[in-house]
């Protein structure tokens, strides 16, 4: 086993992992109680100019929080209250949604459904206490296909009461941009081709807001790597050549540590994966991290580059890592009520018509309104509509999600996390908790949860062009 107090690692580990170490040390002295601490944060949403591609390419005009992409990392301890005042200096309305956090409905940041959008020049204060530790992120919910696409997003980390033993806690916010030759962002947000096909998949991938060449590491290091997919549409499947990182959390929620199928770490838009990355290579070595999701479009994301320093420790002797559970309520699968939720439409989907504004509309009429998708036969525009489903508070539900389209969809439920219990009728191995579940074309996925958070919650595809094109609905918990 290795520990931070051991003389062999002491100073180095302290330098590398001072944050987690400091917490661990403090905890031994004084167990954490949910002290009525409040973290105050100020976010300004405004146009900015940042270097996405790096010199010699020019900087890129973006919309962002705090003048940077990604926006400032918000970090709180579990049980700590968070107050974020958001000032809108954009030329249009905005809101902030705390993706994956189980917040009270009025703090959920959905325009018109949970709040009046924040007008230019105005400020809104979000005030809530994140119940779950883990990796989350924040982004606008107003015209998100353009606002997120232009750079409005940031990481939000809720620390466990007891930090796990790693040398470094690293976040990679992944994004995908459609850039022109001069590194400016291509227009055409929400264009019909993107809406009806794959979404706005771009041509430039950034890690923490920058096209990145190398990730420097040291042999023997153990890293908690938090991946956040902030892209509008790109799905990532990362392969860490020469390494076998284990997934320890999905969408913020702990999961039994495991190496994923095919050693590919798959993240649909909005999803998060926490990896335990053991740097088992040798000093001076270099390995590629490759994204191989889209067949024949595989590319190198970056290189993992080992310093020449001697290994920090023998990782073969490293202890397994276990994250503490979050306070989620277990659904009762025997008593659960079942509902079917079917996604239809899109190119090659064969949808002929759908209900729009309470009336049946044929495909041509739908497309005139920018809609090409439907949930349970309803194509929804805007955020406010009759609920797809009304659930009774504190009861268990199983939703059978049926992807009756030719495209993948990362389906996101606000307000509650759910267990993914089955795929195509087969029980899942890890019964993972998620807030965004990636469904492949024609796939059926069962999700189960207790409807314990009252309010009207969005349920939508997080390919943001699909969302605006109708893969969206409201689930009411009353
Ligand atoms: Cu990340 Cu409804 O959103
Ligand atoms: Cu979709």
* pLDDT recorded at residue 385: 85
Q: Classify residue 155 by its DSSP letter.
A: E
For ligand 1, atom 1: residue with the closest CA: 99
Q: Where are the alpha helices (DSSP H) in 114-264?
A: 144-147, 192-196
Cα–ligand 1 centroid distance for 462 (angstroms): 6
Backbone angles phi, psi at 366, to 5 degrees: -60, -45
Provide the sign of the torsion angle of the four alpha carbons 246, 250, 256, 262, taken in this order.
Answer: negative
How high is the pLDDT of residue 36? Answer: 65
Find the 431 Cα to ligand 1 centroid distance in Å: 22
**Ligand 1: distance of its center to the CA of 270 in Å?**
7
Specify the DSSP class assigned to residue 317.
Answer: G
pTM: 0.92
Ligand 1 atom with the shortest distance to the CA of 414: 2
- Ligand 1 atom nearest the C-alpha of 436 is 1
Relative to the CA of 139, which ligand 1 atom is closest?
1
Q: Are 268 and 436 in contact (CB under 8 A)?
A: yes
Q: Which residues of the chain have pLDDT under 50?
A: 1-33
Among protein residues, the one with the nearest Cα to ligand 1's atom 3 is 99
Instruction: Give me ligand 2 centre to Cα 443, in Å.
Output: 13
55: which 2 tokens?
A: 């010199």
d(CA 405, CA 393): 31
CA separation for the pair 74, 183 (Å, rounded): 28
Which ligand minimizes its atom distance to the CA of 441? 2
Q: Which residues line ligand 1 (CB under 6 A)?
A: 97, 99, 139, 141, 270, 412, 414, 458, 460, 462
pLDDT of residue 289: 98
pLDDT computed for residue 16 by the predictor: 29
Q: What is the DSSP string of 433-478?
A: EESEEEE-TT-EEEEEEE--S-EEEEEEESSHHHHHTT-EEEEEE-
Question: Could you tell me the distance, in angstroms and rounded to a whole number, from the CA of residue 230 to the centre of ligand 1?
Answer: 10
Minimum-distance ligand 1 atom for the alpha carbon of 270: 1
Give the strand pairing for 418-423 and 444-450.
antiparallel
**C-alpha span between 326 and 328 (Å, rounded):** 6
């Amino acid at each position: 086993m290795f520990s931070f107090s051991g003389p062999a690692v002491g100073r180095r580990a302290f330098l590398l992992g001072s944050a987690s170490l400091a917490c661990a040390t403090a905890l031994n002295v004084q167990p954490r109680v949910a002290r009525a601490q409040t973290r105050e944060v100020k976010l300004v949403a405004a146009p900015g100019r940042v270097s996405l591609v790096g010199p010699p390419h020019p900087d890129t005009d973006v919309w962002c929080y705090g003048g940077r992409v990604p926006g400032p990392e918000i970090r709180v301890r579990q049980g700590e209250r968070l107050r974020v005042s958001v000032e809108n200096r954009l030329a249009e309305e905005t809101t902030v949604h705390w993706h994956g956090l189980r917040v009270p409905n009025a703090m959920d940041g959905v325009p018109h459904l949970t709040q009046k959008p924040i007008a230019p020049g105005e400020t809104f204060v979000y005030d809530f206490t994140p119940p779950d530790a883990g990796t989350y992120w924040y982004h606008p919910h107003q015209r998100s296909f353009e606002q997120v696409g232009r750079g409005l997003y940031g990481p939000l980390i809720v620390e466990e009461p007891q930090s796990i033993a790693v040398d470094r806690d690293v976040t990679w916010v992944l994004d995908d941009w459609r850039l022109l030759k001069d590194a400016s962002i291509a227009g055409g947000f929400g264009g019909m081709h993107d809406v009806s096909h794959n979404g706005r998949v771009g041509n430039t991938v950034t890690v923490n807001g920058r096209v990145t060449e190398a990730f420097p590491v040291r042999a023997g290091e153990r890293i908690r790597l938090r991946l956040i997919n902030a892209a509008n549409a790109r799905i990532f499947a990362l392969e860490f050549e020469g390494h076998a990182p284990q997934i320890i959390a999905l969408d913020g929620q702990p999961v039994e540590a495991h190496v994923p199928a095919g050693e590919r770490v798959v993240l649909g838009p909005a999803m998060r994966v926490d990896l335990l990355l053991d740097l088992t290579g040798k000093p001076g070595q270099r390995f590629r991290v490759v994204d191989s999701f889209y067949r024949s479009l595989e590319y190198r994301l970056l290189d993992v580059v080992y310093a020449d320093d001697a290994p920090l420790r023998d990782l073969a002797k490293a202890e397994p890592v276990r994250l503490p559970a979050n306070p989620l309520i277990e659904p009762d699968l025997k008593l659960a009520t079942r509902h079917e939720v079917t996604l239809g439409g899109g190119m090659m989907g064969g949808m002929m018509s759908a209900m729009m504004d309470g009336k049946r509309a044929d495909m041509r009429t739908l497309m005139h309104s920018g809609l090409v998708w439907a949930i349970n036969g309803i194509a929804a525009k805007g955020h406010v509509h009759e609920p797809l489903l009304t659930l009774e508070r504190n009861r268990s539900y199983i939703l059978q999600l049926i992807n009756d389209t030719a495209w993948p969809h990362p389906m996101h439920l606000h307000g509650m996390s759910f267990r993914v219990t089955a795929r195509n009728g087969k029980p899942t191995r890890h019964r993972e908790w998620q807030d965004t579940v990636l469904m492949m074309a024609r796939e059926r996925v069962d999700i189960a949860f207790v409807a314990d958070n009252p309010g009207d919650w969005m349920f939508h595809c997080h390919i943001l062009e699909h969302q605006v094109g109708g893969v969206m609905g409201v689930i009411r918990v009353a």
